[in-house]
Structure 1
Amino acid sequence: MDLILWRHAEAEDVAQSDAARQLTTRGRKQAQAIAKWLRQRLPPDAMILASPAARTVQTVESLTDQYRTVASLALGAPPEAVLAAAKWPEGLAQTVVIVGHQPTLGLVAAQLVTGSPIEWTIKKGAVWWLASRDRSGPGHVLVRAVVSPDLA
Protein backbone atom coordinates (compact mmCIF):
# COMPACT_ATOMS: atom_id res chain seq x y z
CA MET A 1 0.00 0.00 0.00
CA ASP A 2 1.09 3.56 -0.74
CA LEU A 3 0.07 6.28 1.70
CA ILE A 4 0.45 9.90 0.63
CA LEU A 5 0.23 12.52 3.35
CA TRP A 6 -0.57 15.95 1.87
CA ARG A 7 -0.60 18.92 4.21
CA HIS A 8 -3.01 21.66 3.21
CA ALA A 9 -1.46 24.67 1.50
CA GLU A 10 -1.00 28.11 3.09
CA ALA A 11 -4.22 29.52 4.54
CA GLU A 12 -5.33 32.89 5.83
CA ASP A 13 -4.58 33.59 9.48
CA VAL A 14 -8.04 34.80 10.49
CA ALA A 15 -11.53 33.56 9.65
CA GLN A 16 -14.89 33.05 11.33
CA SER A 17 -13.50 29.75 12.70
CA ASP A 18 -10.31 27.76 12.29
CA ALA A 19 -12.11 25.24 10.08
CA ALA A 20 -13.33 28.07 7.81
CA ARG A 21 -9.87 29.43 6.97
CA GLN A 22 -9.41 29.74 3.20
CA LEU A 23 -6.28 29.32 1.09
CA THR A 24 -4.30 32.46 0.33
CA THR A 25 -3.19 33.31 -3.22
CA ARG A 26 0.17 31.74 -2.38
CA GLY A 27 -1.64 28.70 -0.95
CA ARG A 28 -3.61 28.21 -4.17
CA LYS A 29 -0.32 28.26 -6.13
CA GLN A 30 1.22 25.75 -3.70
CA ALA A 31 -1.76 23.42 -4.05
CA GLN A 32 -1.69 23.68 -7.84
CA ALA A 33 2.04 22.88 -7.97
CA ILE A 34 1.68 19.72 -5.89
CA ALA A 35 -1.52 18.75 -7.73
CA LYS A 36 0.36 18.94 -11.03
CA TRP A 37 3.16 16.78 -9.57
CA LEU A 38 0.66 14.22 -8.19
CA ARG A 39 -1.37 14.08 -11.42
CA GLN A 40 1.69 12.75 -13.23
CA ARG A 41 2.21 10.00 -10.64
CA LEU A 42 -1.05 8.92 -9.01
CA PRO A 43 -2.73 5.78 -10.29
CA PRO A 44 -6.27 6.37 -11.57
CA ASP A 45 -7.78 4.28 -8.75
CA ALA A 46 -6.16 6.23 -5.89
CA MET A 47 -8.53 6.90 -3.00
CA ILE A 48 -8.42 10.50 -1.77
CA LEU A 49 -9.63 11.46 1.72
CA ALA A 50 -9.64 14.97 3.17
CA SER A 51 -10.35 16.75 6.41
CA PRO A 52 -13.61 18.73 6.18
CA ALA A 53 -11.78 22.04 6.87
CA ALA A 54 -12.12 24.59 4.07
CA ARG A 55 -8.37 24.81 3.45
CA THR A 56 -7.97 21.04 2.99
CA VAL A 57 -10.97 20.89 0.66
CA GLN A 58 -9.55 23.75 -1.41
CA THR A 59 -6.16 22.03 -1.49
CA VAL A 60 -7.55 18.70 -2.73
CA GLU A 61 -9.85 20.39 -5.25
CA SER A 62 -6.76 21.68 -7.04
CA LEU A 63 -6.17 18.00 -7.89
CA THR A 64 -9.64 16.51 -8.37
CA ASP A 65 -13.30 16.59 -7.44
CA GLN A 66 -13.17 12.82 -6.76
CA TYR A 67 -12.49 12.76 -3.02
CA ARG A 68 -14.30 12.16 0.26
CA THR A 69 -14.24 14.35 3.33
CA VAL A 70 -13.82 12.34 6.53
CA ALA A 71 -14.81 13.89 9.86
CA SER A 72 -12.23 11.85 11.77
CA LEU A 73 -9.46 13.66 9.82
CA ALA A 74 -10.53 17.10 11.11
CA LEU A 75 -8.30 19.50 13.00
CA GLY A 76 -6.66 17.91 16.01
CA ALA A 77 -7.19 14.35 14.80
CA PRO A 78 -4.92 11.78 16.42
CA PRO A 79 -2.45 9.94 14.16
CA GLU A 80 -4.45 6.73 14.69
CA ALA A 81 -7.42 8.36 12.91
CA VAL A 82 -5.34 8.85 9.76
CA LEU A 83 -4.10 5.27 9.80
CA ALA A 84 -7.62 3.96 10.44
CA ALA A 85 -9.14 6.05 7.63
CA ALA A 86 -6.50 4.75 5.20
CA LYS A 87 -6.75 1.21 6.66
CA TRP A 88 -2.96 1.15 6.97
CA PRO A 89 -1.13 -1.09 6.17
CA GLU A 90 -3.59 -3.31 4.25
CA GLY A 91 -5.12 -0.32 2.49
CA LEU A 92 -8.52 1.11 1.74
CA ALA A 93 -7.03 1.10 -1.80
CA GLN A 94 -3.57 0.39 -3.18
CA THR A 95 -2.88 4.14 -3.01
CA VAL A 96 -4.53 6.42 -0.43
CA VAL A 97 -4.01 10.17 -0.28
CA ILE A 98 -4.80 11.91 3.03
CA VAL A 99 -5.15 15.70 2.90
CA GLY A 100 -4.88 17.02 6.41
CA HIS A 101 -3.20 19.09 9.09
CA GLN A 102 -0.19 19.51 11.30
CA PRO A 103 0.79 18.23 13.78
CA THR A 104 -1.20 15.09 12.89
CA LEU A 105 0.46 14.37 9.55
CA GLY A 106 3.96 14.90 10.95
CA LEU A 107 3.19 12.51 13.79
CA VAL A 108 1.94 9.91 11.30
CA ALA A 109 5.06 10.22 9.13
CA ALA A 110 7.36 9.95 12.16
CA GLN A 111 5.45 6.97 13.59
CA LEU A 112 5.61 5.05 10.33
CA VAL A 113 9.25 5.85 9.53
CA THR A 114 10.82 5.67 13.00
CA GLY A 115 8.28 3.80 15.11
CA SER A 116 7.97 6.80 17.47
CA PRO A 117 5.34 9.57 17.44
CA ILE A 118 7.85 12.43 17.17
CA GLU A 119 6.54 15.85 16.13
CA TRP A 120 7.96 16.18 12.62
CA THR A 121 7.02 19.25 10.63
CA ILE A 122 5.55 18.85 7.18
CA LYS A 123 5.77 22.08 5.19
CA LYS A 124 2.51 23.69 4.07
CA GLY A 125 1.37 22.16 0.81
CA ALA A 126 4.00 19.38 0.88
CA VAL A 127 3.52 15.65 0.36
CA TRP A 128 5.16 12.64 1.96
CA TRP A 129 4.73 9.46 -0.09
CA LEU A 130 5.20 6.34 2.02
CA ALA A 131 4.80 2.68 1.13
CA SER A 132 4.35 -0.44 3.26
CA ARG A 133 6.57 -3.30 2.20
CA ASP A 134 5.52 -6.69 3.57
CA ARG A 135 8.24 -8.51 1.65
CA SER A 136 10.81 -6.87 3.94
CA GLY A 137 8.91 -7.93 7.03
CA PRO A 138 5.91 -6.48 8.86
CA GLY A 139 6.14 -2.80 9.69
CA HIS A 140 8.75 -1.98 7.05
CA VAL A 141 8.08 1.43 5.50
CA LEU A 142 9.72 2.91 2.43
CA VAL A 143 9.85 6.69 1.91
CA ARG A 144 9.16 7.03 -1.83
CA ALA A 145 9.14 10.85 -2.01
CA VAL A 146 9.02 14.03 0.03
CA VAL A 147 8.14 17.05 -2.11
CA SER A 148 7.42 20.63 -1.13
CA PRO A 149 5.52 22.99 -3.43
CA ASP A 150 8.61 25.02 -4.29
CA LEU A 151 10.29 21.84 -5.64
CA ALA A 152 7.30 20.37 -7.50
Structure 2
Amino acid sequence: MKVMIMRHGEAEAIALSDGERPLTAEGINEVTQVAELVAEEYSVSKVLASPLLRAQQTASLMAAGLNLAGVETLDELAPDHKPESVFKVLADVEAEVLLLVSHMPLVDQLAGWLLDGTRKSPITFPTATVAVLHTEHLAPGVAELERVFLAPS
Protein backbone atom coordinates (compact mmCIF):
# COMPACT_ATOMS: atom_id res chain seq x y z
CA MET A 1 0.00 0.00 0.00
CA LYS A 2 1.11 3.53 -0.68
CA VAL A 3 -0.01 6.35 1.59
CA MET A 4 0.39 9.86 0.21
CA ILE A 5 0.36 12.53 2.88
CA MET A 6 -0.31 16.03 1.55
CA ARG A 7 -0.40 19.44 3.16
CA HIS A 8 -3.03 21.72 1.63
CA GLY A 9 -2.05 24.51 -0.77
CA GLU A 10 -1.33 28.08 0.29
CA ALA A 11 -4.40 29.58 1.97
CA GLU A 12 -5.64 33.06 2.72
CA ALA A 13 -4.39 34.36 6.07
CA ILE A 14 -7.74 35.78 7.17
CA ALA A 15 -11.32 34.49 7.00
CA LEU A 16 -14.39 34.40 9.22
CA SER A 17 -12.94 31.28 10.85
CA ASP A 18 -9.89 29.09 10.40
CA GLY A 19 -12.04 26.38 8.84
CA GLU A 20 -13.25 28.79 6.14
CA ARG A 21 -9.84 29.95 4.87
CA PRO A 22 -9.80 29.36 1.09
CA LEU A 23 -6.81 28.68 -1.12
CA THR A 24 -5.11 31.69 -2.65
CA ALA A 25 -4.55 31.93 -6.41
CA GLU A 26 -0.98 30.77 -5.73
CA GLY A 27 -2.31 27.86 -3.66
CA ILE A 28 -4.55 26.76 -6.52
CA ASN A 29 -1.61 27.00 -8.91
CA GLU A 30 0.78 25.00 -6.72
CA VAL A 31 -1.77 22.23 -6.08
CA THR A 32 -2.59 22.00 -9.79
CA GLN A 33 1.10 21.64 -10.62
CA VAL A 34 1.65 18.99 -7.95
CA ALA A 35 -1.40 17.05 -9.19
CA GLU A 36 0.18 16.93 -12.66
CA LEU A 37 3.46 15.64 -11.22
CA VAL A 38 1.77 12.98 -9.10
CA ALA A 39 -0.43 11.85 -12.02
CA GLU A 40 2.67 11.18 -14.12
CA GLU A 41 3.89 8.54 -11.66
CA TYR A 42 0.96 7.24 -9.62
CA SER A 43 -2.60 6.05 -10.02
CA VAL A 44 -4.34 7.16 -6.84
CA SER A 45 -7.24 4.98 -5.66
CA LYS A 46 -8.88 7.26 -3.12
CA VAL A 47 -8.63 10.82 -1.78
CA LEU A 48 -9.56 11.62 1.82
CA ALA A 49 -9.49 15.18 3.14
CA SER A 50 -9.91 17.23 6.28
CA PRO A 51 -13.27 19.01 6.49
CA LEU A 52 -11.59 22.46 6.50
CA LEU A 53 -12.16 24.45 3.30
CA ARG A 54 -8.52 24.75 2.18
CA ALA A 55 -8.03 20.98 2.46
CA GLN A 56 -11.31 20.30 0.65
CA GLN A 57 -10.29 22.63 -2.18
CA THR A 58 -6.84 21.02 -2.36
CA ALA A 59 -8.33 17.52 -2.42
CA SER A 60 -10.82 18.48 -5.14
CA LEU A 61 -8.05 19.92 -7.32
CA MET A 62 -5.94 16.81 -6.76
CA ALA A 63 -8.87 14.49 -7.56
CA ALA A 64 -9.57 16.40 -10.78
CA GLY A 65 -5.90 16.25 -11.78
CA LEU A 66 -5.80 12.53 -11.01
CA ASN A 67 -9.04 11.79 -12.89
CA LEU A 68 -10.88 10.65 -9.77
CA ALA A 69 -14.61 11.10 -9.30
CA GLY A 70 -14.55 12.71 -5.89
CA VAL A 71 -13.21 13.25 -2.42
CA GLU A 72 -14.27 11.76 0.89
CA THR A 73 -14.19 13.86 4.04
CA LEU A 74 -12.52 12.41 7.10
CA ASP A 75 -13.01 14.48 10.27
CA GLU A 76 -9.91 12.89 11.82
CA LEU A 77 -7.75 14.71 9.24
CA ALA A 78 -8.53 18.07 10.89
CA PRO A 79 -5.34 19.60 12.35
CA ASP A 80 -6.22 18.96 16.01
CA HIS A 81 -6.39 15.15 15.71
CA LYS A 82 -3.68 12.61 16.49
CA PRO A 83 -2.11 10.19 14.00
CA GLU A 84 -3.33 7.17 15.96
CA SER A 85 -6.96 8.25 15.53
CA VAL A 86 -6.46 8.77 11.79
CA PHE A 87 -4.94 5.35 11.23
CA LYS A 88 -7.50 3.64 13.47
CA VAL A 89 -10.25 4.94 11.15
CA LEU A 90 -8.24 4.03 8.04
CA ALA A 91 -7.75 0.41 9.15
CA ASP A 92 -10.81 -0.67 7.16
CA VAL A 93 -10.18 1.51 4.09
CA GLU A 94 -9.23 -0.45 1.01
CA ALA A 95 -7.03 1.43 -1.41
CA GLU A 96 -3.81 0.57 -3.19
CA VAL A 97 -2.73 4.23 -3.26
CA LEU A 98 -4.38 6.49 -0.71
CA LEU A 99 -4.03 10.30 -0.69
CA LEU A 100 -4.62 12.07 2.63
CA VAL A 101 -4.99 15.87 2.53
CA SER A 102 -4.53 17.62 5.85
CA HIS A 103 -2.71 20.38 7.72
CA MET A 104 0.32 21.09 9.84
CA PRO A 105 1.10 19.79 12.40
CA LEU A 106 -0.88 16.64 11.58
CA VAL A 107 0.83 15.89 8.24
CA ASP A 108 4.20 16.00 9.99
CA GLN A 109 2.90 13.73 12.76
CA LEU A 110 1.31 11.25 10.33
CA ALA A 111 4.54 10.87 8.37
CA GLY A 112 6.67 10.61 11.51
CA TRP A 113 4.35 8.03 13.05
CA LEU A 114 4.49 5.80 9.96
CA LEU A 115 8.21 6.28 9.26
CA ASP A 116 9.76 5.89 12.70
CA GLY A 117 7.00 5.73 15.29
CA THR A 118 7.49 9.30 16.51
CA ARG A 119 5.38 12.39 15.90
CA LYS A 120 8.15 14.28 14.13
CA SER A 121 8.82 13.58 10.50
CA PRO A 122 12.19 13.95 8.77
CA ILE A 123 10.21 15.48 5.88
CA THR A 124 9.43 19.19 5.71
CA PHE A 125 5.95 20.06 4.48
CA PRO A 126 5.73 23.41 2.71
CA THR A 127 2.26 23.98 1.26
CA ALA A 128 1.15 21.50 -1.43
CA THR A 129 3.87 18.97 -0.52
CA VAL A 130 3.06 15.29 -1.04
CA ALA A 131 5.08 12.59 0.73
CA VAL A 132 4.66 9.09 -0.71
CA LEU A 133 5.18 6.32 1.84
CA HIS A 134 5.17 2.60 1.16
CA THR A 135 3.90 0.32 3.90
CA GLU A 136 2.46 -3.17 4.24
CA HIS A 137 0.16 -2.04 7.04
CA LEU A 138 -0.69 1.08 9.02
CA ALA A 139 1.48 0.84 12.11
CA PRO A 140 4.16 3.00 13.73
CA GLY A 141 7.65 2.84 12.29
CA VAL A 142 6.97 0.43 9.41
CA ALA A 143 6.80 2.70 6.35
CA GLU A 144 9.53 3.68 3.92
CA LEU A 145 9.71 7.06 2.23
CA GLU A 146 9.41 6.53 -1.50
CA ARG A 147 9.11 10.04 -2.95
CA VAL A 148 8.37 13.66 -2.10
CA PHE A 149 6.60 16.03 -4.49
CA LEU A 150 7.05 19.78 -4.03
CA ALA A 151 5.26 22.52 -5.90
CA PRO A 152 7.58 23.95 -8.57
CA SER A 153 8.71 27.46 -7.63
Bucket of the pairwise TM-score, normalised by the shorter protein: 0.7 to 0.9
CA separation of 1:150/1:85 partners in 2, compared to 1, >3 Å: closer, same or farther? farther
Paired positions, count: 145
**Structure 1 Cα separation of the partners of residues 116 and 79 of structure 2:** 24
Cα contact 2:79–2:105 (8 A) shared by 1: no
Say which is worse superposed, 49-58 or 66-75, in terms of deviation: 66-75
* SS of 2:3 mapped into structure 1: strand
Cross-structure match for 2:105: 103
Out of 131, 135, 142, the position equivalent to 2:134 is 131
TM-score by length of 2: 0.84
Percent of residue pairs bearing the same amino acid type: 28
Counterpart of 1:117 in structure 2 is 119
Q: Note the alpha carbon deviations across 1:20-56, whole angstroms, 9 max, x for none.
A: 0000111011110111112223326x11100011101
Residue of structure 2 equivalent to 1:140:
142
> Aligned to 2:152, what secondary structure does the other structure show?
helix
**Deviation (angstroms), 1:115:** 2.0
Report the TM-score when normalising by structure 1.
0.85
Amino acid in the other structure paired with 1:126: T
For structure 2, list consecutive stretches of 5 or more residues without a partner in the other structure. 64-68
Please identify, of 10-19 and 32-41, the stretch whose mean Cα deviation from structure 2 is larger: 32-41
- The one-letter code matched in structure 2 to 1:142 is E
User: Which amino acid in the other structure matches residue 80 of structure 2?
Assistant: G
Give structure 1 regions of 4+ aligned residues with deviation exceeding 4 angstroms.
none
Indicate whether 1:77 and 2:81 are aligned: yes
Of residues 77-86 and 67-76 in structure 1, the stretch that sits farther from structure 2 once superposed is 77-86
